[in-house]
Structure 1
Amino acid sequence: MKVYIVYYSLNGHIHRLAGAIAEGVRDAGAEAELYRVPETLPPDVIGKMSTPEFQSEFGAVPVIDRHRLGDADAVIFGTPTRFGNMCGQMRQFLDSTGNLWAAGALVGKIGSVFTGSNCQHGGQETTIITTMVTLLHHGMICAGLPYTFGQQCRSDEITGCSPYGASTIAAADGSRMPSANELAGARYQGKYVALLAMALQERRDGIMNALREE
């Protein structure tokens, strides 16, 4: 059972959430593989926007080969918010997966999304929902972060996470890293997706065969 965590991170916030999601996947007994989407910005621009220390850490994460995306039993996508939508790097990557769409390579597989924004109301929910539109076009079964993760309802602190997926708040200057509560939500989402994928795995072949007979 393989769960791919495919994401983009500029300053480490999504990267930290991705690590917590991987912990949750492994806690469920599944294999977690982390990948980053290809960078679209030139190195000199990245150098002005991000720290060399993080870029070195992020650079150690392998770039996903889009042709291998269908090898996963579930895929959890991570993207920072850009005006209430996914970042350009993720958009360009997903736009390159037409061959997978044509082959139905992701049909019936679990898909999920996590995100982050600078402020509490910076478009986290719309980013996740609009990203799920692409996953639905691929025929994926979308999973969020259910309210059984009760800490998303807490009001004693400012925190990310919603029923659509885990999220974090970075602050205007990017200085705030994911809180313990946000990391807990990411771990919960990873475990939830892995357990769903494991339950579906035994039935997916039968479902796909039945659909082919229609």
Structure 2
Amino acid sequence: MSAPIRAKINIVYYSTYTHVQKLAEGLKRGAERVANVDVNILQVAETLPEEVLAKMGAPAKPENVPVATPDDLVSADGILLGFPTRFGMVPAQMKAFLDSTGGLWATGALRGKQAGLFFSTNTQHGGQETTAFTLLPYLAHQGLQYVPFGYGHPAMQKNTEVIGSSPYGAGIIAGVEGDSPSKTELEIAEAQGEYFAKQVLIRVLGEKAAEQQ
């Protein structure tokens, strides 16, 4: 009996105050519910000096999470990119990482792979959608297939609780107290992770079947 076909998902995030990191962990838990899917979490390298981070009160980056390289995008069948907002736009750290992938664009190395997004803002109207918008041109130029989450969790259609997330992906409203993500926000992240993993596995299985025809 032949071994089952497996899919690989790399979750690549940047997080200053651990909010996005916790969201990434939720996405991983959800994705791992899908059989025959391998999931890894990687972090984007910091670009701010240590003295600046110290003045910002930013905690140390986790030592057990590898720093992502462009090769980590190539090796994955699906990629989830997570980041906080900076004035409604993707932060410089994530932008610097993506800017380093020009060689992948030149060779078409990412064409056909699937990608999803998740994000964090400090307020309800701090850029939950506009921050996602700023990554769409990158996905298009690389030929990545964007997999939006849609309204994939019932809490996203209710207004009884203040939560992050949008049809573009799971999100957090961090707040000034830093008491996030909430239980509901993590549930949405897990739901997106599971949904994304299923879509990636379906594509991988379909491609393998097409090759055998």
TM over 0.5: yes
Q: Secondary structure of the residue that 1:114 maps to in structure 2?
A: strand
Q: 2:42 aligns with which of 35, 51, 57?
A: 35
> TM-score, normalised on structure 2?
0.90
- The residue number in structure 2 matching 1:95 is 99
- In 2, distance between residues paired with 1:73 and 1:198? 8
Letter in 2 for 1:69: L
Q: Does 1:138 pair with 2:158?
A: no
Q: Secondary structure of the residue that 2:109 maps to in structure 1?
A: coil
Greater percentage in helix: 1
Q: 2:128 aligns with which of 104, 120, 124?
A: 124
Alignment of 1:66-77 (within 5 A): 66-77=70-81
> TM-score, normalised on structure 1?
0.90
- The residue number in structure 2 matching 1:181 is 184
- In 1, distance between residues paired with 2:96 and 2:177? 24
Q: Which deviates the most, 62-71 or 109-118?
A: 62-71
Q: What is the aligned length?
A: 204
- The residue number in structure 1 matching 2:11 is 5
Asked if structure 2 preserves the Cα contact closer than 8 Å seen for 1:161 and 1:167, the reply is: yes
- In 2, distance between residues paired with 1:174 and 1:196? 36
What RMSD, in angstroms, separates the aligned Cα atoms of the two structures?
1.7
Q: 1:19 aligns with which of 16, 25, 29?
A: 25
- The residue number in structure 1 matching 2:66 is 62
Asked if structure 1 preserves the Cα contact closer than 8 Å seen for 2:121 and 2:127, the reply is: yes
Q: 1:166 aligns with which of 161, 166, 170?
A: 170
- In 1, distance between residues paired with 2:50 and 2:204? 41
- In 1, distance between residues paired with 2:197 and 2:106? 25
Alignment of 1:143-162 (within 5 A): 143-162=147-166
Gaps of 5+ in 1: 209-214
Q: What whole-Å deviation, never above 9, does each CA across 1:110-138 have from its counterpart, x for those lacking one?
A: 10110001100001101112212211211
* Residue 67 of structure 1: how far off its partner (Å): 2.2
Asked if structure 2 preserves the Cα contact closer than 8 Å seen for 1:81 and 1:116, the reply is: yes
Q: 1:111 aligns with which of 93, 101, 115?
A: 115
* Residue 106 of structure 1: how far off its partner (Å): 1.1
- The residue number in structure 2 matching 1:198 is 201
- In 2, distance between residues paired with 1:145 and 1:60? 28
Gaps of 5+ in 2: 1-6
Change in 2 beyond 3 A, CA 1:159/1:101 = same
Q: Segments of 4+ in structure 1 off by > 4 A? A: 205-208
Q: Secondary structure of the residue that 1:2 maps to in structure 2?
A: strand
Asked if structure 2 preserves the Cα contact closer than 8 Å seen for 1:118 and 1:174, the reply is: no
